[in-house]
Structure 1
Amino acid sequence: MGTSLPEYRRLWPSALAGDPAGPMPARRSTRDWGVDTLCFLLGLGLTVWVTLDLLNPEPTLVRPGATPYWLVLTDGVASVIAAVGLWWRRRFLAGLAAYVLLLSFFSVAAGLTLLIVIFTIGVHRRFAVLAGYVALAVLANGVFTMVRPEADLSDGETFWWGNVMMMSAASWGMLVRARRQLIVSWRDRAERAESEQRLRIAQARVLERTRIAREMHDVLAHRISLLSLHAGALEFRPSAPPEEIAGAAAVIRSSAHQALQDLRAVIGVLRTGQPEDEQTPERPQPTLSALPMLADESRAAGVNVRLEIGPAPDNVPAATGRAAYRIIQEGLTNARKHAPGTAVRVAVGGAAGDGLTIEIRNPIPVLVPAPAIPGTGVGLIGLAERALLAGGWLSHGRIDDEFVLTAWLPWQA
């Protein structure tokens, strides 16, 4: 009974928290309309049926002649009012509960209405409120047993069965309330898990950008040192032959051009990332020329690597080679984690002007083992960010019975 969970949580969060004074829902959901209609019809229908039975000279619910005529009429009218009040039981629960509690001292016709009210209190109020109300209802049931003796039951049986039905309604209401709170807690945990995953992804991107910036620092230092060396040579030998001066100038121009490109890459990374922390710069990073050594290391670790390199490593720009090396390194690491014992094929191709292509393939094992090597689960996200910052792209996924990682990096002519 009650509103659906999304509406309930949005319109009445204080009820879930156990606040007895929390605001009621302003609107009924479709489910609320159905439940309220059913409660209203059941409460009103049973009230009318019981009242008509009590007006009969030979009633079946109470002992004949035990109830005066005026009390039967009073019970019927008051119980009809209580049954109509079930239609607004959520908004005016406190007033309706107090009214029905007074009726329970003498009313037979309001029995089902009392059970519905107890159930509603169990759903929408904390346990202390429910326990206090049920205790008063048990006291009222003791008075009712003496005022309205039933036809086929003794006073003890009437008192006992009344208490059993009230306890059952209260238990059902607490069960519904606990289930709703459990669903809300599950939803909160799912939302927190999604937020934490988004945070981990953002942190992985920032760390990848920062690491790229540190790598660029070493490259820029190398190129600027070349500029300084050749400029110094021209300064100390102004009378050198024209051929040497032209050669040095060409080297200076080429190094300056490369330094500017690397500087743009660094600035692009730092604009979207966080400032670089105060750490010692790392040593120069490997490029495509180090791929055979990387393959040998993987083979020594038990991975059957088949390496195919199309272009000459020395012809590939350093920045592109570094990014390609990191992509292949992470791809081999993933294969070692998730597909141990399988053969891995690494193919590098392309040409200047067309770009550099990387493809890593490995069969998917029939039984996927739990990774023996711990990881954060964001390695591929960092690689995709690296490829994007380099002007390329990266994709990965299952094709037939193989896991395929494909990347493309720009390679200017």
Structure 2
Amino acid sequence: MSEVETAIQPGRGWLSYVRPAFLVLVSFAGGLALLYGVLQQAPAGAARWIDVLFGALASAALVFSRRAPVPVALALAGVAAVFASGGLANMLALYAVARHRQLTVALLIASFNVVCGCFFWTLYPKNSSLLLTFTVNVAIAAALTAWGALRQAQKALLDSYRERAERLEREQELREREIRRAERTRIAREMHDAVAHRISLVALHAGGLDVMPDPAQSDVRRSAELIRSAAVQALEELRVAIGVLRADEPRSLEQPGLDRVDDLLRDAADAGQRVAVARAPDIADGVPPDVGRAAYRIVQEGLTNARKHAPGSAVSLTLRRTSGGLLLQIRNPLTAERLEMPGSDRGLIGLTERVALTGGTLHYGISESHQFELCAELMWK
């Protein structure tokens, strides 16, 4: 029967011809076995050859049982009611209905088969009693219907599992794509923060040379060295960031934490930026990595903005612990002079989003003392 089920399903290539042919041969052979070996009373003479002919036609009709199972099953049930050699083809057609159609339709076809079997008994009553004929026909019809319905349910279950697996795979791909997109966006933001910090140092050194009335050669050499160093570092950070963005699987850039704030202050001092710092020596102890990274970027953005918008002004930086986290305040006075550098509020907007992801808050604007103030509270408890 497994070969029969496989043959009923559409195949590919040469199997699409071999399987139906095998099905027809098996059906016709089984019908001849019923006619010549099983039945005690069967048609004789010319009637037997007619029976064989209709049995062959019934077996050939099974080729269409996958495409039109119900009409084929009805027709073969009628053939089997008169011609014995069409009996096995009738059974296979009933299985095809149960395999590919609703159970109610299969039960109706099965009932019709039982009626046709009883009609065959009226033509050849000496084979067995009517009760035995009815019982056997009911048992065969029920078994074929149940088997076909079971196979249909199994196929539907496998299809649902396959569809679910494909859906989960698509969702996983979408999640991975979204993760990569978010990572690339975050890397681009990191690139903005890091490169803008370096470029602001370059602009500050160049601006200092521009306003110096008669710079000494040593001052020029020192400023040029600082400009070169800042530019090289900016190019290196830009190269690393672009290389990461071009990779198929973006990796994270180096993520400095709160313990690297001294590097920012050292760069600012080398550029001539005055920064008054108020913090505890062990301010970085126990700070979670994500909070430390956010704090580093806040200090970096604050010092960069101060160099761009208030060059030469003193900046105050306050870092202190609170009951549930870390408080950062960066202040610089408002000045009419500013460096001509392109920019927007994207850095501050990015900081606001970064701080929000850690569960903290960030505010910036002009304070009552006419200073620009950048204040962030990072929470982790």
TM range (shorter): 0.5 to 0.7
Task: Pick the structure with greater CA Rg.
Answer: 2
Query: Where do residues 218-297 of structure 1 align in structure 2 (5 Å cutoff)?
Result: 218-266=193-241, 285-286=255-256
| Distance in 1 between residues matched to 2:90 and 2:96, nearest whole Å | 10
1:222-257 deviations in Å (ceiling 9; x for gaps): 222322322232222221322112101211122123
Question: 1:294–1:231: structure 2 CA closer, same or farther, 3 Å change rule?
Answer: closer
How high is the TM-score relative to the length of structure 2?
Answer: 0.56
Query: Where do residues 337-356 of structure 1 align in structure 2 (5 Å cutoff)?
Result: none
Per-residue deviation at 1:188? 2.2
Secondary structure at 2:235 match in 1:
helix
Residue of structure 2 in register with 1:311 after alignment: none
* Residue of structure 1 aligned with 2:73, choices 97, 104, 111: 97
Q: Percent identity?
A: 29
1:163-194 deviations in Å (ceiling 9; x for gaps): 21011111111222222222222222222222
* Residue of structure 2 aligned with 1:43, choices 18, 24, 27: 27
Residue of structure 2 in register with 1:60 after alignment: 40
1:376-406 deviations in Å (ceiling 9; x for gaps): xxxxxxxxxxxxxxxxxxxxxxxxxxxxxxx
| Distance in 1 between residues matched to 2:244 and 2:186, nearest whole Å | 10
| Distance in 2 between residues matched to 1:50 and 1:251, nearest whole Å | 103
* Residue of structure 2 aligned with 1:193, choices 168, 190, 196: 168
| Distance in 1 between residues matched to 2:244 and 2:4, nearest whole Å | 50
Query: Are the counterparts in 2 of residues 224 and 255 from structure 1 also a CA contact under 8 Å?
Result: yes
Question: 1:45–1:72: structure 2 CA closer, same or farther, 3 Å change rule?
Answer: same
Question: 1:257–1:68: structure 2 CA closer, same or farther, 3 Å change rule?
Answer: closer
Partner AA of 2:29 in structure 1 = G
Per-residue deviation at 1:289? 5.9
Deviation larger for 179-188 or 44-53: 44-53
Structure 1 residue 29 corresponds to structure 2 residue 15: yes
| Distance in 1 between residues matched to 2:112 and 2:59, nearest whole Å | 20
1:138-168 deviations in Å (ceiling 9; x for gaps): 3323433333324343x12211211210111
| Distance in 1 between residues matched to 2:284 and 2:94, nearest whole Å | 72
Higher share in helix: 2
* Residue of structure 1 aligned with 2:94, choices 98, 104, 118: 118
| Distance in 1 between residues matched to 2:65 and 2:178, nearest whole Å | 50
How high is the TM-score relative to the length of structure 1?
Answer: 0.52
Partner AA of 1:145 in structure 2 = W
Task: Mark the runs of 5 or more structure 2 residues left unpaired by the alignment.
Answer: 249-253, 261-281, 289-381
Partner AA of 2:136 in structure 1 = W
| Distance in 1 between residues matched to 2:200 and 2:211, nearest whole Å | 17
Residue of structure 1 in register with 2:61 after alignment: 85
Per-residue deviation at 1:118? 0.8
Secondary structure at 1:238 match in 2:
coil
* Residue of structure 2 aligned with 1:156, choices 103, 109, 131: 131
* Residue of structure 2 aligned with 1:131, choices 93, 107, 110: 107
| Distance in 2 between residues matched to 1:33 and 1:294, nearest whole Å | 77
Question: 1:110–1:296: structure 2 CA closer, same or farther, 3 Å change rule?
Answer: same
Question: 1:294–1:74: structure 2 CA closer, same or farther, 3 Å change rule?
Answer: farther
Question: 1:294–1:89: structure 2 CA closer, same or farther, 3 Å change rule?
Answer: farther
CA RMSD, aligned part only? 4.1
Query: Are the counterparts in 2 of residues 142 and 159 from structure 1 also a CA contact under 8 Å?
Result: yes
Secondary structure at 2:85 match in 1:
coil
| Distance in 2 between residues matched to 1:211 and 1:142, nearest whole Å | 78
Residue of structure 2 in register with 1:390 after alignment: none
Task: Mark the runs of 5 or more structure 1 residues left unpaired by the alignment.
Answer: 13-23, 274-283, 299-413
* Residue of structure 2 aligned with 1:203, choices 168, 178, 184: 178
| Distance in 2 between residues matched to 1:139 and 1:4, nearest whole Å | 25
1:85-118 deviations in Å (ceiling 9; x for gaps): 3456445645543431211333333222211111
Question: 1:146–1:49: structure 2 CA closer, same or farther, 3 Å change rule?
Answer: same
